[in-house]
């Protein structure tokens, strides 16, 4: 087991508190579905609606705080919803657009190390522009001050959004370089679980835009990076234990919709 007793307790408390807060504040949308209701029952429709709502903020309410618990144990520093900075050089912006354009037309292939070094060269050239970059979902700093910045996405992100995902990853690099041009930075997309298991994650839609080796971590790659080699399986066990513990509480909550 890679998780210690303190981490297990913290993670399971995150899950319990997240679900209970959701129960307390959630109300199904007032949509009339007479056929579905008579066929399946109000409680099952309410549960379905609840799960759909939970999925929309699973990242911020569960994955981010769980990741933070893991990272604080392993890394020198860890932050969630971190702001990388608020300035970027005009030459960095030009370089990022050049990379995006080249990838979009397949004139170049993704090479994150090369892209980072190209941005580093121009990170303080031109004029400094005020921007509001996307918040970093999870950021960790190693003992030798190397930074890893994660954008946590859903298990099946929209393929059409990868261009903007790439831009976000490169902007984080440029913004940090604007104040610290010698920083060691890695910016990545994190996919918390593989919906295709036991098959491998379908990465082909990302291949033209992301450097799959250096910009993507899926399921156990992500969680074991934040923790240890068995962290992913330990996490699944935490979720299972909490689910069993709260099962009766969940059933009682949704039965009230039948009244």
Do 112 and 93 share a structural domain? yes
What distances in angstroms separate CA 242 from CA 7, 17, 19, one per listed residue?
A: 14, 11, 10
Do 252 and 157 share a structural domain? no
- Per-residue pLDDT tens over the stretch 39-89: 877 777 777 777 777 777 788 899 999 999 999 999 999 999 999 999 999
- Per-residue pLDDT tens over the stretch 162-210: 899 999 999 999 999 999 999 999 999 999 999 888 888 887 778 889 9
pLDDT-derived band of residue 159, with 50, 70 and 90 as boundaries?
low
Beta carbons of 227 and 74 less than 8 angstroms apart: yes
pTM listed for this prediction: 0.90
Q: How many domains does the chain have?
A: 2
Do 128 and 27 share a structural domain? no
Do 152 and 134 share a structural domain? yes
Q: Which residue has the higher pLDDT, 1 or 235?
A: 235
Q: Which residue has the higher pLDDT, 44 or 4?
A: 4
Do 97 and 51 share a structural domain? no
Do 253 and 125 share a structural domain? no
Query: What residues make up the domain containing 23?
Result: 1-56+232-259
Please tell me the distance from the alpha carbon of residue 179 to that of residue 190, in angstroms, as a whole number. 25
pLDDT of residue 1: 62
Do 259 and 180 share a structural domain? no
Please tell me the distance from the alpha carbon of residue 173 to that of residue 181, in angstroms, as a whole number. 10
Do 76 and 23 share a structural domain? no
Do 245 and 224 share a structural domain? no
The residue with tokens 């980072």 is: 116
- Per-residue pLDDT tens over the stretch 139-154: 999 999 999 999 999 8
pLDDT-derived band of residue 33, with 50, 70 and 90 as boundaries?
confident
Helices (H) and strands (E) in the chain, counts: 11, 7
Q: Which element (helix H / strand E) includes 197?
A: none
Beta carbons of 189 and 210 less than 8 angstroms apart: yes
Do 107 and 24 share a structural domain? no
Do 256 and 200 share a structural domain? no
pLDDT of residue 160: 72
pLDDT-derived band of residue 30, with 50, 70 and 90 as boundaries?
low
Average pLDDT of the chain, as a whole number: 90
Do 238 and 191 share a structural domain? no
199: which residues sit within 8 A by CB, 6+ positions away? Answer: none
pLDDT-derived band of residue 22, with 50, 70 and 90 as boundaries?
confident
Strand order in the sheet with 216-218: 77-82, 136-141, 146-152, 184-191, 216-218
């Amino acid at each position: 087991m890679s998780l210690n007793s303190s981490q297990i307790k913290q993670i399971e408390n995150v899950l319990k508190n997240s679900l209970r807060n959701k129960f307390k504040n959630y109300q199904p949308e007032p949509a009339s579905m007479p056929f579905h209701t008579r066929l399946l029952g109000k409680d099952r429709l309410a549960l379905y609606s609840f799960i759909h709502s939970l999925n929309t903020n699973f990242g911020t309410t569960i994955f981010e705080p769980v990741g933070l618990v893991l990272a604080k144990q392993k890394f020198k520093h860890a932050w969630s919803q971190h702001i990388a900075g608020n300035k970027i050089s005009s030459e960095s912006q030009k370089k990022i657009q050049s990379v995006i354009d080249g990838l979009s037309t397949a004139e170049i292939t993704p090479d994150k190390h090369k892209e980072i070094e190209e941005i580093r060269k121009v990170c303080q050239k031109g004029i400094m522009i005020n921007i509001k970059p996307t918040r970093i979902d999870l950021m960790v700093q190693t003992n030798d001050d190397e930074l890893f910045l994660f954008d946590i996405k859903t298990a099946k992100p929209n393929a059409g959004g990868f261009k903007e995902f790439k831009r976000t990853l490169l902007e984080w690099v440029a913004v940090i370089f604007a104040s610290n041009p010698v920083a060691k930075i890695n910016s990545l997309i994190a996919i918390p679980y593989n919906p295709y298991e036991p098959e491998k994650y379908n990465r082909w839609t990302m291949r033209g835009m992301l450097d799959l080796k250096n910009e993507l971590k899926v399921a156990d790659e992500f969680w074991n990076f934040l923790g240890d080699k068995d962290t992913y399986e330990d996490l699944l066990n935490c979720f299972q234990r909490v689910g069993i513990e709260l099962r009766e509480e969940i059933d009682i909550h949704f039965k009230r919709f039948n009244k």
